[in-house]
Amino acid sequence: MSAIGVVSSCSCLRPGVWLLKPGMQKMSSFGLHTAARCAAKDYYEVLVLGGGTGGITMSARMKRKVGAGNVAVVEPSKTHYYQPLWTLVGGGAKQLATSARPTGSVMPKGVEWIQSRVTALDPDKNCVWLENDIKISYKYLIIALGISLHYEKIKGLPEGFHHPKIGSNYSVHTVEKTWKALQDFKEGNAIFTFPNTPVKCAGAPQKIMYLSEAYWRKTGKRSKANIMFNTSLGVIFGVKKYANALLEIIKERNITVNYKRNLVEVRADKQEAVFENLEKPGATEVHEYEMLHVTPPMGPPDVLINSPVSDEIGWVDVDKETLQHKKYPNVFGIGDCTNLPTSKTAAAVAAQSGVLDKTISLVMKNQLPTKKYDGYTSCPLVTGYNKVILAEFDYDAQPLETFPIDQSKERVTMYHMKADMMPFLYWNALLKGYWGGPAPVRKLMHLGLK
């Protein structure tokens, strides 16, 4: 697989560090964790697979339950990324380096960091296999392996990214190419895509479109841009309240939406994008582009496909209310790698972490889980350089809003929450296991109105 077709853990993409400033590539030397390429032990009370958002969050929570020396995290990458910031990086509003920290600096102190990859899971024997045939056993297993990006499933990619005019906010290797393509735009079609697969943060493919439109308005190029959103879906957004608001914005800003269109090929040398019409099997359309933003097809990590812990597609098969595995009671899942029927976002991981903490606590006491996850997820829909519609909803695609205001309205305050407050909360609360989503805030806000 190419360097771009990598796995990301729970809404936090974690490939190489070649785009980072040299100073950010250095590991912390303050003894924040125990790190080794090989495990120090062959058994841990709690073993966590994946060092993205869900993995780090749950390892911090488990450390407080069973002690740091009894918890290990399997994670190969040296750098941890806060990927939700990449929308703003692609739009030129944030620097890529601000989204990255050394993995060692976010690993809970004393927790064993096994810097390796999982190659197989054997839940019937309570063990996993790592590279070099290393076997690690566990009492409890938390799977937080994220979601894989598959640029290679689009003909002409990822090699097409070596050409100008094309970018993608979903990879550390290509997010800055989005900003370059945006700046270099002269005249023609600007095409933004949404694939025919599950994706992480389903709002991101159109967020960069709104930022691009705003940038071209600001720089006097808007009249020369024909902005197109080619989506494999049949709706602009899955929650009607927010979809209606977005459709108004699309109409006001003269954006064309082509539904049921899936990107199948990029001819980067000719600046052409080929789409299949999902309503007419076999029919394709070719569009020239002056700028192309690609959202790649995505799927479960390879190690989970045909694994005993996964469903028929490859997602970890967990109870949607407790996050406990449906077959193996000492196995749990969190985040993008699971088959939870909700939008895959960092906000969802936050809410799931609080529920999973309670679930594991009760399982450890030989009690049945009682706390239930309602599918809460959130998507701050960036509609400009100072505007956000804060979409929050549940399993039933019904709004589940935190604030006692109409969150379908564009608001400056919500933009600052997305751009400034949420990164702070992520690094200082969520990854440390102290933030379980906004449910307590929501209760307080709405109680205050009674």
Positive/negative CA dihedral, 402, 408, 412, 417: positive
Which DSSP symbol is given to 420? I
CB atoms within 10 A of CB 364: 16
Angle in degrees, 0-180, between the axes of helices 53-66 and 346-364, rounded to the nearest 10: 30
CB atoms within 10 A of CB 293: 27
- Helix, strand, coil percentages in the chain from 3-state DSSP, rounded to 5: 30, 25, 40
Which has the closest alpha carbon to 54: 443, 398, 315, 344? Answer: 344
E strand map for 317-376: 331-333
Q: How far apart are CA 11 and CA 381, in angstroms?
A: 16
CA dihedral 260, 378, 368, 63 (to 10 degrees): 120
Token couple for 161: 């990214």
Dihedrals φ, ψ of 84, to 5°? Answer: -55, -20
CB atoms within 10 A of CB 311: 15
Catalytic residues: 201, 379
Residue the block writes with tokens 């939008």: 343
Helix (H, G, I), strand (E, B) or coil at 287: strand
Which has the closest alpha carbon to 312: 323, 324, 322, 299? Answer: 299
Which has the closest alpha carbon to 293: 240, 225, 340, 361? Answer: 225
Q: Give me the residues paired with residue 392 across strands.
A: 378
Q: Which amino acid is at 373?
A: Y
Which has the closest alpha carbon to 348: 303, 310, 395, 314? Answer: 395
